[in-house]
Every structure is written in structure tokens, then in C-alpha cells.
Amino acid sequence: MKYIKRIAFWLAMLIIALILISAVLMIIWSPGKMEPYRDASGNVLSSSVSEIVRVPIGGIEQGMIIQGRDIRQPVLLFLHGGPGSPEYPMADAVSGRLADMFTVCWWDQRGSGMSYHSSIPPETMTLEQLIEDTKEVAEYLANRFGVEKVYLMGHSWGSYLGVYTAAKYPQLFNAYIGIGQVANQFVSEQKAYDYMLKQAKATGDAKLENELLKYTLDTPSALVPAYMAVRTDGMNRLGIGMKHSRASYFWDGVFPVLRCRAYTLWEKVNYVRGMNFSQTYLWDRAASDYLIESVPTLEIPVYIFHGIHDYQTSYEEAKAFFEQLQAQEKHFYPFEGSAHSPLFEEPERFIQLLREDVLGVSLP
């Protein structure tokens, strides 16, 4: 008995030691700093920018990562998804190549990531306030880099925020670029539910079928957190969610944040807190909006990039929104190998379209 207690004691000590070592390593790995761009000789490129800035936006300090190999290039403001899910940690496939073409601002929106603070008044977590925040960030970037307008790119929730902002303040933007475009989210959720249930029955996945049958999506209020967890897991396993390649919540969502050196350890904790906080106050509005009725016209060029396997924001609904939208100029690009994230799933085509069609610069 004494032997067993001794083994249990040392096992407990080992576990505590491993936890402490992991915590120390995470702190070391999380400096909250950016590496500068350098030339072949190791010298910092004089016209480049690679930094984290914190700027008063809408009455609170908000964080953003700004990258560009040459600040004379066009400026791009990226609106992340979620709500509450900054995407710089997941953007390895495109962040460097975007910085070759643009000065890119990866802004952590109010209540998200670096811009999460426990003191943020919940009543400010509204679409209207985030539209004004987006306007302020765009103006900050234009003033700082000496441009008249910036490009506006939004993914998922960011595409919803982006359409509203572009409609209200077209004078600030060269063009709007939507990825995984939100259009009619509740109908999108119903289509995803029907597809998952059909696939579960066809493949004999009784677990998924039984989980889905616990819910009836008759109103947006049915999109409760418990259902959304089932829905997200089902989508990822069926290749109709974040990635067509069957995304892993840990490896495609959690792990990139843990390894991101641009965030401090506390900011990584706040990443999770910000997701919960933002979704609590912002999700319901987006989930019940029919975008073409709210925003029938955009006065700037529009480019929509959408994966044909996407049920997270329905490909069919996004295409219908695009076809009905009145715009100065508009283009729709299907991505046949992608679900919700063509920028991460087909980065080569994504970058080529940006370079050739949006910026009008042919590849060498």
C-alpha cells in the first residue's frame, strides 16, 4: 500500500512538473511580437512594415497586425470571421503572399483576440458599432499610409460586416472582396441541417443522425449553442464546414492560435474569451438577416470567392445574393476544391485572382 502511495505521489509530481514546463514554454513561445521583413543579407527592408499596433477605435483600444513588404503598395483591411475569431493565426498559407501585394491589416475586431477586454460594455457589441469601428480602422490606415481608399476583404462573419460597411461608406474603399459570403444565414443553416441528416442516414452514421434529430430548425432561435456544436462537428467531418478536407477543430482552430507568436499567452486566453463574448452578442443578428433585402446595392466593385462545398455559409445562397446585388462591377468565383475557406484551401488560385482580377497585375 505504501508503495502504491509513493508511486501515486511521484506521478502527481511528474504531472505538475509537465504542466509547469508547458506553461513556461508557452510563455517563451508567445512573445507578442512580429519579425521584420529582411533582404537576402539579413537587413530589414526599409520600406516594409511588420508590427502589432493598438489604436483607440470607437472609444476602446483595439489591436491589429500590419504587414507589407513595401508600404507603397495598396492597403488591404481584412475582416475576420466568427464573430470573434481573428484569422491571422490560421493564415500561414496566404499571409506572406498577401504582404507581397498589399499592406495588410489583420484587425482583431472589438471583443476579439487582442481587442478583447472584460470591461467592454456589452451594449456596444452591435453590428452598428462594428460598422463604425471598421470605418475608423479604414480611415486610420488611409491616413497612415497616405492613400485615398483601401481594399476591404471579409471572410464569413467578416463578409457580413464588410457588406454593411461598404454600403454605408463606399467612399473609403476601392473594392469589396467577400469570402464565404454570408447572405441568408438561417436558410443556409436549414440547408446544412438537411444535407447532414441525409448524409448521416445514407452512411449509417446513427450518432450524427440521432444528435441532429434532437433539434428542429424552424426559427433562428433554434440555433442554440448545443446545436451549433453538433452542427460544426458534423460539417467538419463531412467536409462542408471550415474546409472540404474535413477540418479538425483542434488542428485547424486551436493549434494555430497556440503556436502564434504574435499573441502573448494572455492574448491567447482572451482569444477564447473573445469568441464566446462576441458570439453571445453578434450571432443572432447575422443569423436572422436576409442580406439582399438589407443591402440591395453596393457602389463599389464587388468580388465574391466561394467554395462550392460550403454549407457553413451556403454556396447557393451566396450565389443568389450576388446575382440580385446591384453593383458598379461584380464578379463571382467558385472554388471547386473548397468549402468555407478557399483562401486557405486553394491559396494559389486565391492569390492569382487577387493579383490578376482585383489588382489587374498579371503574374510573370
Question: Torsion angle, CA of 159/163/95/145, rounded to 10 degrees?
Answer: -160
CA distance 353 to 207: 41
Dump pLDDT digits (tens) for 22-34: 555 555 657 779 9
Give the mean pLDDT of the chain: 92
For residue 31, what pLDDT is reported?
A: 76
Q: Which set of grid coordinates corresponds to residue 162?
A: 464588410
Residue 105's domain comprises 49-185+250-358
Any domain includes 225: no
CA distance 116 to 112: 5
CA distance 160 to 171: 18
Least confident of 26-40, 105-119, 305-319: 26-40
Beta strands in 48-143 (DSSP E): 49-57, 60-68, 75-79, 103-107
CATH code at 100? 3.40.50.1820
Residue 225 vs residues 71, 141, 192, 276, 357: alpha-carbon distances, Å: 42, 36, 16, 10, 39
Any domain includes 129: yes
pLDDT over 80 at 108, yes or no: yes
Residue type at 263 in one-letter notation: Y
Distant-in-sequence, close-in-space partners of 181: CB < 8 Å, separation ≥ 6: 159, 163, 304, 306, 313, 318, 321, 322
Q: How many separate domains does the chain show?
A: 1
Any domain includes 339: yes
Dump pLDDT digits (tens) for 127-152: 999 999 999 999 999 999 999 999 99
Higher pLDDT, 253 or 94: 94
Any domain includes 284: yes
Dump pLDDT digits (tens) for 154-191: 999 999 999 999 999 999 999 999 999 999 999 999 99
Any domain includes 204: no
Distant-in-sequence, close-in-space partners of 187: CB < 8 Å, separation ≥ 6: 314, 317
DSSP class per residue in 316-335: HHHHHHHHH-EESSEEEEEE
Higher pLDDT, 311 or 17: 311
Report the Cα 159 to chain-centroid distance in Å. 9
Report the Cα 148 to chain-centroid distance in Å. 26
**Would the pTM of this model clear 0.85, i.e. be above it?**
yes
For residue 251, what pLDDT is reported?
A: 81
Starting at the edge strand found earlier in the chain, the sheet holding 302-307 runs 49-57, 60-68, 103-107, 75-79, 150-155, 173-179, 302-307, 330-335
DSSP class per residue in 128-158: HHHHHHHHHHHHHHHHHHT-S-EEEEEETHH
Any domain includes 243: no
Dump pLDDT digits (tens) for 315-359: 999 999 999 999 989 999 999 999 999 999 999 999 999 999 999
3-state secondary structure of 273: helix
Any domain includes 211: no
pLDDT over 60 at 12, yes or no: no
Any domain includes 17: no
